[in-house]
Amino acid sequence: MSTWLKLFWGRERWDRAALYAIIFYLAVVSGTAPAVAQEHSRRLGFEEPPAWTTSGAWASDGTLILVDALKSKVLRYSVDGTRAELVGTIESPLDGPLAFQKPSIIRPIPSGFLLEDEEAHFVFFDSSLQAIAQVDLLQDATSSIGAIRSAFGWTYYGSSLLTLGDIEKDGEWSSGFLRVDLKAPKKYEIQQPLALNAPARSFYLIGNSYFASIGSQGFFLRMDAVPALYRVGESGTSAQLVRRYAGLGLPGLPDRSTAQGVKRAYDVLETSAIVTGLYASGEYLYLLARQPGWREGWQWGLSKIDPRTGEEVGTLSLPSPGRHLVVIPGDDYWAFVEKGSVRGVGQQQVSSVYLVPSKVVELAKR
């Protein structure tokens, strides 16, 4: 493990500001983490940017798909030129169960794409982006445990959805990390409970990605005071601890029930040294971390993680001015959608997309 991640994940409890100053000094100044080569990467401004986006995917024709949750649209951008040009939208069927009204998250899956619509309604698309099937958890996921009422972030593997969900039974509510077989959603399993008032819960409600999958295994990062990486297999298996990342304190997020509370929560995130996402590509997981105010602007680091042990095997420094990033792994490029500060509910500038060749990410070394 590299020196900076030994400190990052060490058993000692460091002061967070001092810890991250050490991390990024070693990673960027000393060169123990390779910086993204500018000549191999491209930053494109948006001609018609999405108003509010937290997820995306690459289409087979090389266009970039972004969900604009504020405008309830699924947008397609060409990134072949000097600007990210809007070239079309993915339209909902006019009516019927495959119709979607308020799309929020899209993810690539082996057969195509999976889109989450409003209130845990999931629509399957083939590789040509035609809607072909759907599952509505609010209608279909009721068992003796209770009824699933929401899903906050997710990944899909095999036929399983791994998510943080709320459950209601006889007027009583609970929450937890769930594995839901979308072929038989009534047979969902609670992998781990999470109290409704747990501070960790707030991190899953803000749009960051803390779920990823590789092959027949799903992973989630539990954002407790000591964050922990867990692995979940297929039906009948329970979540297995992969690694705890001691030494990383997490900020408390303000209540988000008001417009000002939403802004304050994002302000805290923006000014905190924190892991902001978990991703997967090929045989590895990736953790994205941010250090605000180091040198100029915001310094981002992408760590390549061995899914068997949770240890870091490579690190990439990302020279991005974005206050917040949407990360979209791909076969040819990783896209980092660069967003500004959140000024209020649905108020955030989406300025550009930074494209880094996938080979550069894959070859990241200690």
At 312-355, the pLDDT tens digits run 999 999 988 899 999 999 999 999 999 998 887 778 999 999 99
Per-residue pLDDT at 267: 83
Question: Is a pLDDT exceeding 90 seen at residue 139?
Answer: yes
**Distance in angstroms (rounded) separating the CA atoms of residues 139 and 88:** 32
Q: Which two tokens stand for residue 231?
A: 């692995």
Q: Which two tokens stand for residue 290?
A: 């941010």
**Distance in angstroms (rounded) separating the CA atoms of residues 40 and 222:** 34
Question: Is a pLDDT exceeding 80 seen at residue 249?
Answer: no
Q: Which two tokens stand for residue 186?
A: 């009534």
Residue 46: what are its φ and ψ, rounded to 5°?
-85, 130
**Distance in angstroms (rounded) separating the CA atoms of residues 200 and 152:** 12
**Distance in angstroms (rounded) separating the CA atoms of residues 76 and 71:** 14
pLDDT higher at 225 or 129:
129
The pairing of beta strand 284-292 with beta strand 217-222: unpaired
Length of the chain: 366
CB atoms within 10 A of CB 100: 21
297 — pLDDT class (breaks 50, 70, 90): low
CB atoms within 10 A of CB 193: 12
Per-residue pLDDT at 298: 60
Report domain extents, the chain: 3-362
Per-residue pLDDT at 271: 79
Per-residue pLDDT at 140: 94
Per-residue pLDDT at 30: 38
CA atoms within 13 A on the CB side of 357: 11
pTM over 0.85: yes
Query: Of 8-22, 92-106, 256-270, which gets the smallest average pLDDT?
Result: 8-22
Per-residue pLDDT at 335: 98
Question: Is a pLDDT exceeding 90 seen at residue 126?
Answer: yes
As a CATH number, domain 3-362 is 2.120.10.30
**Distance in angstroms (rounded) separating the CA atoms of residues 294 and 292:** 6
Per-residue pLDDT at 147: 97
Per-residue pLDDT at 95: 85
Q: For the chain, give the mean pLDDT.
A: 86
293 — pLDDT class (breaks 50, 70, 90): low
Question: Is a pLDDT exceeding 70 seen at residue 2?
Answer: no
Count H helices and E strands in the chain, helices first: 5, 25
Average pLDDT over residues 12-18: 38
Convert the pLDDT of each residue in 159-202 to its tens digit.
999 999 999 999 999 999 999 999 999 999 999 999 999 999 98
